[in-house]
Structure 1
Amino acid sequence: MSETIAVITPAYKAEDTIIATVRSVLAQTYPHWQLVIVSDDGTDYAAFLAGHGIVDGRIGQLSSGRIGGGASAARNVALEQLDSAYAAILDADDRLKPQKLERVAAALAQYGIVSTALDVMDEGFAHLRDIAAGPDRALGPGEHKWVNLSMDSMIAWDRAKADGRYDLTMSNMTDLEFLLQLYRTVPASFHLGTPLHDYVKRAGSMSNGAKTTAGMIASKTTLLERLERGHYRLAPGGVEGMAGFLRVSLQAERDFFAALRQNSRALFEDHLEPRLALENRAQRKIIIQIND
C-alpha cells in the first residue's frame, strides 16, 4: 500500500504564484498525495483555483485564522489536523519537479527524513544555480547543512518516526529549527542529489537586506546556543557538525554586505559555499595531522 504524502502550502497574497505551484503537484508521477493550502490572508484559494480550471479532490484548504500570521503558524495549523503518514513542505511560490514525490516516497520507506537538491531560479523560472546536487546519500545531522547549505523547507518526513511544530518565537531559520526537532528521533536522513525542487528567488530576496541579516544572525545565534546546551539531543557528531556550520554561516552573514558592494546581485549561497569548503579543508588537515 502506498502512503499518502501531505504537501503543506501556506498561502499569503499568493494569487500571482500559486497556480504554477499547484500545477507542479498535479503533474507528479506519484498520485498518492494531498495538497493542503493554508490560507493566511482570508482568500478562498480553492475558489480561486477553480476559477482557473484547477479542481482536484486531493486539494484541500484550511485557514490559519489570521491575516499575515506567517508561514510557521500556518504550517502548524496543518500539522495539527493532518492524519497522513508522510508530510512535505511546498511554499506557494515554488514548484516540484514531476518525480519529486515518487522518489521521496521511496526513500521514506527506509528513512525518517528526506531532503532533495534544489534548482534555484529567478521569478521567470530561469536557472540561477543548483544547491546540494550530487550523489544520493545518507546524512547524519552533523553533515546535513554542509550539503544542504540553505533552504530547509524542502524536506519531507515520516511523521511516525519524527514530528514537531514550528517555533513561533523565532523570526528566521524556523525551517532549520524544525529540522533539528526531527533529528532528535532520526539518526540519519537521506539526501536525493538530483534537483527535484524549484526554489524561486524573488527580487526582494535575491540578497539579504539589513533587517533580514539582523534576523538571521539573531536566529542562528539562538540555534547555536541551543545546540551547545544539548537542547536537541542529536546523534553523535550531530551537535559538533551543526554548530560548526552555524559558526561559519554567522561569520558569512556578518561579511555579506561587503560582498554585495562588489556584486549587488550576489546570492548568499555563493558567498557561503567557499567558506564552508575552506573550513572543510582546514578540518581535514587537522585530522591528518592528528593521525600522523
Structure 2
Amino acid sequence: MAEISVLTPAFAAQRRLPSSIARILDQDFEDWEMLIVSDDGVDYQSILAREGIADPRLRFLQTAVRGSGPNVARNLALHAARGRFIAPLDPDDLCDPRRLGCLRALAADHGMAGDNLHVIDEAGSRPGHLVFPLDPPLHFLTIDDLYGIPVPLSFVFHRSLVAGGWDEDMGPGSDILFTLRAMERVERAVIYSEPMHEYRFRPGSIGHGFDTTEGAETAYRCCLQRLREGDLGFRSHRFREAVARLLWHKRRLNRAYRRAIHQGFSGSFLHFLGLWENHA
C-alpha cells in the first residue's frame, strides 16, 4: 500500500501530462502511487510508454463515459486509491522533487498541507510571482484568509478528511468545496512558504474568457443554493455561513470580470484582478 496517492484526471492531456509525471517520478519521497484517469478515451499508458515513461507505481483508469468531467475522474481515482494521504494533481502541474515528502510530513501533523506556488503567465505579459511571502516558513490559513487568494491552492490531505470526495454535479465549484470541507475539520490549513508548485495561466485556459465567467456564475449560484439547503457536507452552521460569504465575494469578482469583458477587456481573470484591486 502506498503512503501517498496522487490523483490526476486527464482530458486532452497528451502534450502536458508527460512533464507532470516526470516531476512525480523525480520525487525524493518514493512511497507513492499515481492514478491517471483518462476521461477522453485516450490510452495514456501507451502515450507515456512512447515517451519512455513507465513505472509500476503509475496506475491507469478510465471513466465509464467519455467527457464525464474532472470531478467524476477524481472520484474514480479516490475510490481506487490505496494511500493514507491524497494529493490531487492536475495534468499540467509541475512539482518540485521535494514536494510530496515535505507536504506528507506536514499533513501527518496537521491533517492537510499545501505549499507556496509560482504564478506564471505563459503569455509572458507578467513575470512569475509568489502567492505567499517566504517568511515565516509556515503560514496557517483559515477560511477568512482565502478572500485574498485568487488562484487555487493545492494540498496533500489525510485520507480521513476527504472521504466524501468531489461533488460531481458542481463543475468548477467543486475544488473549493472539497478543500473547505477539509478545512472545517482541521480549522487551520498549513502552507509551507517555499514554492514547490507552479500554477500556469494562459490565453484559452479555464481561467480566461467569457465562457469561463458564465460557467463560474452557474457554479456559484448552484453552490449557494445548496448551501441554503444544507446539502454540501459542512458540519456547522457557522462554517456554512462563512463559506457562503466567501462564495458571494468570489461571485462578485467574477461578475466584475464579466462586465470588464463586455467592455472590451481581453486579459485573464488574474490580470483583471490585479487591475481591479488597484482601483477598488
Q: Under a length normalisation based on structure 2, what TM-score does the superposition of the two structures give?
A: 0.84
Q: CA deviation at 1:156?
A: 1.5
Contact 1:38–1:61, Cα closer than 8 Å, also in 2? yes
Counterpart residue type for residue 187 of structure 1: E
Q: List per-residue Cα deviations over 1:17-60 (Å, max 9, x = no partner).
A: 11111111112122121111111122222222121111212111
Query: Residues 163 and 139 (structure 1 numbering): CA distance in 2 closer, same or farther, change over 3 Å?
Result: farther
Query: Residues 145 and 276 (structure 1 numbering): CA distance in 2 closer, same or farther, change over 3 Å?
Result: farther
Distance in 2 (CA, whole Å) between partners of 1:278 and 1:164 is 40
Matches within 5 A, 1:179-258: 179-205=179-205, 207-227=207-227, 231-233=232-234, 238-258=239-259
Distance in 2 (CA, whole Å) between partners of 1:44 and 1:268 is 33
Q: Corresponding residue for 1:282?
A: none
2:251 aligns to what SS in structure 1? helix
Distance in 1 (CA, whole Å) between partners of 2:183 and 2:228 is 15
Q: Corresponding residue for 2:15?
A: 16
CA-atom RMSD in angstroms:
3.0
Query: Residues 212 and 161 (structure 1 numbering): CA distance in 2 closer, same or farther, change over 3 Å?
Result: closer
Q: Corresponding residue for 1:150?
A: 151
Distance in 1 (CA, whole Å) between partners of 2:144 and 2:235 is 12
2:216 aligns to what SS in structure 1? helix
Query: Residues 102 and 55 (structure 1 numbering): CA distance in 2 closer, same or farther, change over 3 Å?
Result: same
Matches within 5 A, 1:21-60: 21-60=20-59
Counterpart residue type for residue 247 of structure 2: L
Query: Residues 46 and 185 (structure 1 numbering): CA distance in 2 closer, same or farther, change over 3 Å?
Result: same
Contact 1:132–1:147, Cα closer than 8 Å, also in 2? no
Q: CA deviation at 1:69?
A: 1.4
Q: Corresponding residue for 1:139?
A: 141
Q: CA deviation at 1:92?
A: 1.0
Q: CA deviation at 1:205?
A: 2.1
Unaligned runs of 5+ in 1: 280-292
Q: CA deviation at 1:236?
A: 8.7
Query: Residues 273 and 178 (structure 1 numbering): CA distance in 2 closer, same or farther, change over 3 Å?
Result: farther
Distance in 2 (CA, whole Å) between partners of 1:241 and 1:68 is 33
Q: CA deviation at 1:263?
A: 5.2
Count of residues in correspondence between the two structures? 275
Distance in 1 (CA, whole Å) between partners of 2:276 and 2:242 is 15
Contact 2:206–2:212, Cα closer than 8 Å, also in 1? no
Q: Corresponding residue for 1:97?
A: 96
Q: Corresponding residue for 1:284?
A: none
Q: CA deviation at 1:133?
A: 4.5
Contact 1:163–1:181, Cα closer than 8 Å, also in 2? no
2:171 aligns to what SS in structure 1? coil
The yes-or-no answer on 1:83 pairing with 2:68 is no
Query: Residues 196 and 224 (structure 1 numbering): CA distance in 2 closer, same or farther, change over 3 Å?
Result: farther
Q: CA deviation at 1:240?
A: 5.0
Query: Residues 16 and 233 (structure 1 numbering): CA distance in 2 closer, same or farther, change over 3 Å?
Result: closer
Q: Corresponding residue for 2:266?
A: 264
Q: Corresponding residue for 1:290?
A: none
